[in-house]
Amino acid sequence: MKYLLFLFSLMIGADQSKTLTLTTEDYPPFNIVDTKAQKVSGVSTEKVSEVMQLQSF
């Protein structure tokens, strides 16, 4: 998990002019996809969101 967050921080800092698309799977409790609400939640999702906020992305 730490390596994944590190890679995200490298990708975000490299070039901020590009669009970043993240793909996930339904793997509770790490990622949970709610198809009705069109939202993804879970432990991994929260960590990725924190990294994105820290990088001002």
Q: Where are the domains of the chain?
A: 2-14+23-54
Higher-pLDDT residue of 8, 51: 51
How would residue 48 be classed by pLDDT, with cut points 50, 70 and 90? confident
State residue 47's pLDDT score. Answer: 87
CA angle 31, 55, 12 (to 5 degrees): 75
CB–CB of 9/52 below 8 Å?
no
Nearest-angstrom CA–CA distance, 43 and 57: 19
Nearest-angstrom CA–CA distance, 24 and 47: 13
State residue 12's pLDDT score. Answer: 61
State residue 35's pLDDT score. Answer: 86
Nearest-angstrom CA–CA distance, 10 and 25: 22
How would residue 8 be classed by pLDDT, with cut points 50, 70 and 90? low
